[in-house]
């Protein structure tokens, strides 16, 4: 199977169509656009009929094979699109895909759209079977560092110009929500004057705050030491109606991991081994190591006790504002000591009294 990045897809399609395409990733907008590009190329090549299937419970895989191998009364070529909602076709689906991959129908193009496929899925028999005949379009997420550049490219495609400050304004407002960024750019096309230049002031005025907040983003910002970003994320979660218990769960889980790794290292274990034993993924090791440079075991034990007190506050067993306490916990995790240790100790003592 040819592996192609999303930005290489146009060139790959210009060289000719593959009988099978798998588009996989966790960025819905980019997955949708990649599928749109493949559909357009298929239509231009005479695949005028399209059938869409969703892999839902009870899905009949036989109808896909039957459709792929049957001639259409209305078109010589057919595009069959299959949405793998969870990226797992199941035993029957795996068998059907292997059977199809062994002999793809000559006048049929199969397009599979799926969320990010993990390593074990990519090593599965059905996926490897498709490798022999198809093209794998892997959609990678746009990182915070890449987002301003991505926005700049989208603005130029829309016929607009913006300086780096304006791009940063939009990036800060949408915080990783690519669909929101795309929608704001479409709105700017209607509002910006003929010269197409967007200033930072105009961007601030026009663009809504469409940030997509999540508890994992909150944790990562805190571990990075980005207190300001973490607090903004925390307020966003509260504003979106996120349950305080969910936020506490994410923070407490990370503090327990940090505490476990810190203790093991203090006992003489190698960091990589300690992190592995604590279940830390390789790509998160640098983040954990950075956080442990400022967060030592004594402070982490205090933060765990504070998390326990917040749990009591959420359950009504301790007279305190859970969100105010979560703010303190977030600030301390980010390296900003919000309370003197003696005051912190007194507060915790009261929580257990």
Model confidence pLDDT, tens digit, residues 86-101: 788 888 889 999 888 8
The residue-averaged pLDDT of 2-17 equals 89
Which of 130, 137, 74, 138 minimizes the C-alpha distance to 104?
A: 130
Confidence of residue 288 (pLDDT cuts 50, 70, 90): very high
* Residues 41, 68 contacting (CB under 8 angstroms): no
* Residues 126, 116 contacting (CB under 8 angstroms): no
pTM score > 0.85 for this model?
no
Question: Could you tell me where the DSSP H helices lie in the chain?
Answer: 9-14, 28-44, 62-68, 90-102, 119-122, 125-131, 147-157, 164-174, 178-191, 200-206, 215-224, 227-239, 244-266, 271-277, 285-292, 297-314, 322-333, 341-351
What does the pLDDT look like over 205-262, one tens digit per residue?
777 666 667 788 899 999 999 999 999 999 988 988 888 998 999 899 899 999 999 9
Question: What secondary structure does DSSP assign to 229-276, as a single string?
Answer: HHHHHHHHHHHTT--HHHHHHHHHHHHHHHHHHHHHHHTT--HHHHHH
Element (H, E) at 197: strand 197-198
Which of 68, 77, 87, 63 minimizes the C-alpha distance to 136?
A: 87
Confidence of residue 346 (pLDDT cuts 50, 70, 90): very low
Query: Which residue in this structure is represented by tokens 């096309």?
Result: 189
117 pLDDT higher than 80 = yes
Which of 82, 57, 55 minimizes the C-alpha distance to 67?
A: 82
What does the pLDDT look like over 142-196, one tens digit per residue?
887 888 999 999 999 888 989 888 898 888 888 788 988 898 898 888 888 766 7
Task: Report the residue count for the chain.
Answer: 353
Domains of the chain and CATH, by start: 2-138 (3.40.50.300), 147-206 (1.10.8.60), 215-351 (1.20.272.10)
């Amino acid at each position: 199977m040819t592996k192609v990045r999303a930005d290489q897809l146009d060139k790959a399609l210009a060289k000719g169509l593959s009988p099978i395409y798998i588009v996989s990733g966790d960025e819905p907008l980019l997955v949708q656009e990649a599928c749109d590009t493949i559909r357009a190329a298929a239509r231009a090549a005479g695949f005028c009929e399209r059938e869409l299937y969703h892999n839902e419970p009870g899905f009949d895989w036989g109808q896909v094979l039957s459709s792929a191998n049957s001639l259409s009364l209305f078109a010589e070529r057919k595009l069959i699109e299959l949405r793998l909602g969870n990226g797992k076709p199941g035993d029957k689906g795996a068998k059907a895909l292997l059977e199809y991959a062994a002999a793809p129908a000559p006048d049929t193009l199969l397009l599979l759209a799926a969320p990010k496929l993990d390593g074990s899925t990519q090593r599965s028999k059905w996926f490897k079977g498709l490798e022999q005949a198809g093209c794998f379009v892997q959609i990678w997420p746009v990182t915070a560092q890449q987002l301003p550049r991505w926005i700049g490219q989208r603005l130029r495609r829309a016929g607009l110009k913006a300086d780096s400050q304006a791009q940063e304004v939009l990036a800060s407002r949408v915080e990783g929500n690519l669909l929101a960024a795309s929608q704001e750019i479409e709105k700017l096309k209607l509002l910006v004057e003929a010269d197409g230049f967007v200033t930072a002031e105009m961007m601030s005025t026009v663009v809504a705050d469409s940030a997509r907040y999540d508890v994992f983003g909150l944790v990562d910002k805190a571990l990075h030491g980005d207190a300001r970003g973490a607090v903004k994320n925390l307020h966003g979660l509260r504003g979106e109606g996120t349950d305080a218990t969910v936020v506490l769960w994410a923070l407490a889980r990370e503090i327990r991991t940090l505490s476990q790794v810190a203790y093991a290292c203090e006992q003489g274990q190698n960091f990589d081994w300690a992190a592995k034993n604590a279940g830390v993924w390789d790509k998160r090791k640098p983040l954990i190591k950075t956080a442990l440079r400022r967060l030592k075991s004594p402070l982490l034990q205090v933060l765990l006790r504070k998390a326990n007190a917040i749990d009591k506050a959420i359950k009504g067993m301790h007279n305190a504002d859970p969100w105010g306490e979560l703010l303190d916990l977030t600030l301390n995790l980010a390296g900003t000591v919000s309370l003197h240790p003696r005051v912190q100790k007194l507060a915790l003592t009261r929580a257990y009294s």
